[in-house]
Amino acid sequence: MRPRQPQPVPARRGRHRRRPAAGGRRRRGGDRRVTGSLEVPGARIHHRLRGSGPLVLLLPGGDGDADSSDGIASRLEQTHTVLTYDRRGLSRSTVEDRTRAPGIATHADDAHRLLDALAAEPAFVFGTSIGAVIALELIARHPGQVRHLVAFEPPLTELLPESARAAAERAQLEVEEIFRTVGAPDAMMRFATMIGIDVEDREPGVLLPRMTPERLPNLEYFLAHDAPAVRSYRADLPALRAVAAQITPAAGRSSNSVVGPEVAARELAALLDRELAEFSGGHQAPALRPGELATGLAEIFAAMRAPPRALHTLRGAQVRRRRRTPLAAPARRGGGSAPARSRRCA
């Protein structure tokens, strides 16, 4: 496959509606809380803006919507404008056909259109799990819209060693089968076990998400369409190499899952010759440790605005420097080398 070339940002498209968020009029200091919706091909995307300062787009994992990143957003909005939204098919974002799988490229196009409509300059982006996969597709297609991306544990099974890749794909298929034969709650319980969620590994005061009737349609849409889309997705590695300086792969220090998104993050860091940022917690750190993660993100974004300095001096995230040695390339288009060793920075 030929590498994608950077594409110019097109003129504003679609109809866009904005309205003040409930209880969210302009607050002291000039920051804001605004909700709105954007019409895109085949869907209408609900979104929320809050805070003031450089724009940060948050892309959550799983069935997460515009509200699921509140723990991170409420901290970042003190110094940034934070954009969150419901992916098409989830919560308040409607689709014309709920039986049609959108795919990662369509989700990335939705994010591109939101930035096109709302952003006056390139945005910082944080994506976790499927959100990280969408963010990687976004920056591959529209690098001019992304100032810097922190990609937290993208489940790119193509980057895993062959034996681990096969095990991960079997585990993902098992979750999809449980959903089809038993239902979403049981499938998500298996999924939680598969990615090694430790609910005790969380910050004080963080409440665990509950299974509610309102959440069930989101889970069903995620398991029916988005989870299979992640499993079949193949990243454009040549395009990502071309914008490697704009990407920081990241992982949780205690991540230990069957499907290996933390391993994929390390492999991505080596493939791009980038340092791996490590945060406290596991795969669910964005939900269970939002305070520490928001602190680390703010420092990474600040470092990208300031004159160059060593990322390993940041407090919120530790960074591993990669020592590259040539090994077998991932079994997919684009090739590349996998990491052999790493060392923790002082």
217 vs 221: CA distance, rounded Å: 6
Residue 251 confidence (pLDDT): 95
Q: What percent of the chain clears pLDDT 70, i.e. is strictly above it?
A: 79
pLDDT at 309: 43
Residue 311 DSSP label: G
More confident residue, 287 or 345: 287
Encode pLDDT of 162-205 as tens digits.
888 998 999 999 999 999 999 999 999 998 888 888 888 888 98
Q: How far from chain centre, in Å, is Cα 287? A: 12
H-helix or E-strand spanning residue 219: helix 216-221
Residues 6+ positions from 153 with CB-CB distance below 8 Å: 128, 129, 132, 250, 251, 252, 255, 261, 262, 264, 265, 283
Give the C-alpha separation, 318 to 328, whole Å: 27
Phi-psi region of 154 (alpha: psi -120 to 50; beta: other; left: phi over 0): beta
Q: Which long-range contacts (CB under 8 A, 24 or more apart) does 31-36 make?
A: 31/77, 31/81, 32/81
The pair of three-digit structure tokens given for residue 72, joined into one six-digit string? 């991170």
Q: Name which residue leads in pLDDT, 17 or 224.
A: 224
**What is the per-residue pLDDT across 48-91, written as a single tens digit (0 to 9) for each?**
999 999 999 999 999 999 999 999 999 999 999 999 999 999 99
Mean pLDDT value across the chain = 83
CB 282, CB 129: distance < 8 Å: no
Does the pLDDT of residue 24 top 90, yes or no?
no
**Domain residue ranges of the chain, discontinuous segments joined by +:** 16-344
Q: For a pLDDT cut of 90, what percent of the chain falls above it?
A: 66
Residues 78, 227: Cα–Cα separation, whole Å: 33
Does position 41 have pLDDT exceeding 70, yes or no?
Answer: yes
For the CA atoms of 204, 205, 211, 212, what is the dihedral angle to 10 degrees?
180
Reported as a single tens digit per residue, the pLDDT across 257-271 is 767 899 999 999 999
Return d(Cα 223, Cα 179) in angstroms, integer: 7
Pairing of strands 247-252, 276-279: parallel
Kindly provide the residue ranges of all beta strands, DSSP E only, lying in 201-300, ordered along the sequence. Answer: 247-252, 276-279
Superfamily name with CATH number, domain 16-344:
Alpha/Beta hydrolase fold, catalytic domain (3.40.50.1820)
Stated pTM of the model: 0.83
Residue 81 CB neighbour total at 10 angstroms = 23
DSSP 149-169: EEEE----GGGS-HHHHHHHH
191: closest CA among 209, 213, 214?
A: 209
pLDDT of 2 > 90? The answer is no
Among 104-118, 150-164, 206-220, the least confident range: 206-220
Are the CB atoms for 90 and 65 separated by under 8 Å? yes
Assess contact for 283 and 197: CB atoms under 8 A. yes
Question: How much is the pLDDT for 320?
Answer: 54
**Cβ contact 223:184 at 8 Å:** yes
Spatial distance between the Cα atoms of 179 and 211, rounded to a whole number of angstroms: 15
How confident is the model at residue 259, as a pLDDT?
75
pLDDT digits (tens, 9 = 90+) for 290-335: 999 999 999 999 998 764 444 434 445 555 544 333 333 444 433 4
Name the amino acid, one letter, at 74: S
Report the chain's terminal Cα–Cα distance, integer Å: 40
- Residues near 145 by beta carbon (within 8 Å), at least 6 away in sequence: 9, 112, 115, 116, 119, 122, 123, 138, 139
pLDDT at 30 over 70: no
What sign has the CA pseudo-torsion 287, 165, 141, 299?
positive
